[in-house]
Amino acid sequence: MKYKRILLKLSGEALMGEKQYGIDPKILSEYADEIKQIHDKGVEIAIVIGGGNIFRGVAGASSGMDRVQGDYMGMLATVINGMALQGALEDKGMLTRLQTALKIEAIAEPYIKRRAVRHLEKGRIVIFGAGTGNPYFTTDTAAVLRGVEVHADVILKGTRVDGVYTADPEKDKSAVKFDYISFEDVLKKGLNVMDTTAFTLSQENKLPIVVFDMNKKGNLLKICEGENVGTVVNI
């Protein structure tokens, strides 16, 4: 396998499937199947999942809610998604641990870096919930931060788009996909890969990012086996 330890970043919105909000059990089960394929090959897996299918702090703030309050609500949404994903993974026989940046001892371990690494070494899938535990930071930033802390080889950003394009492919049919692009070129061209804080953190720590379509079966396994899937962002 090309990567021994990965940080998989999943979108909360993707869990909605065809619904308007919430969690589609069918999507959860499909994601669990994809993750099991690489888990069975010995890849060590850490996961950060967004909360946009339940609540977004930025959206709350735009309609008059206090931004800090909204962001904490968003963090709790990521914990709900983490619990749902944990259940789906364990239903398929995988051992998991949910660690949260906010203390919620009844349902999750507090995030402790050494403990998280030990879980990964033992073959457990570690899900990181509640973002960084701080308002004004996205789950993209949480993903890169945790990836750096646990010494992941790569950030795999699973989205509904199959890579990074010159423009939004859903709006511009002439958009061209990159197979490989440098951090520097992403910034020069003003492309939207992750939010600026997350992207800069990844660049400074030389942690590559692969943007790919998580909803296409087999993509996750192909990436871990070294196939050219999605877009690789690297130094």
> Per the annotation, does 153 bind a ligand?
no
- Amino acid identity of residue 164, one-letter, is V
pLDDT at position 153 is 98
Give the residue ranges of DSSP H helices in the chain. Answer: 25-39, 57-62, 67-91, 113-121, 139-149, 183-189, 196-204, 219-224
> Per the annotation, does 25 bind a ligand?
no
**Alpha-carbon span 83 to 108, nearest angstrom:** 9
Beta bridge partners of 180: 232
> Per the annotation, does 134 bind a ligand?
yes
**Each residue's pLDDT tens digit, 37-57:** 999 999 999 999 999 999 877
**Each residue's pLDDT tens digit, 157-202:** 999 889 999 988 888 889 999 999 999 999 999 998 999 999 999 9
> 234 — phi, psi (to 5°)?
-145, 175
| Cβ pair 101, 128 in contact under 8 A | yes
- Amino acid identity of residue 99, one-letter, is Q
**Each residue's pLDDT tens digit, 83-141:** 999 999 999 999 999 999 999 999 999 999 999 999 999 999 999 999 999 999 999 99
> 63 — phi, psi (to 5°)?
-105, 20
Q: How far is CA 231 from CA 41, 56, 101, 146, 213, in A?
A: 23, 27, 30, 21, 10
The CATH number that applies at residue 83 is 3.40.1160.10
49: nearest Cα among 5, 21, 8, 104: 8
> Per the annotation, does 138 bind a ligand?
yes
> Per the annotation, does 179 bind a ligand?
no
Does the predicted TM-score (pTM) go above 0.85? yes
Residues contacting 50, CB < 8 A, separation 6+: 9, 10, 11, 12, 13, 78, 81, 139
| Cβ pair 215, 29 in contact under 8 A | no
Q: Please give the tally of structural domains in the chain.
A: 1
> Per the annotation, does 217 bind a ligand?
no
> In which domain, by residue range, is 61 found?
5-233
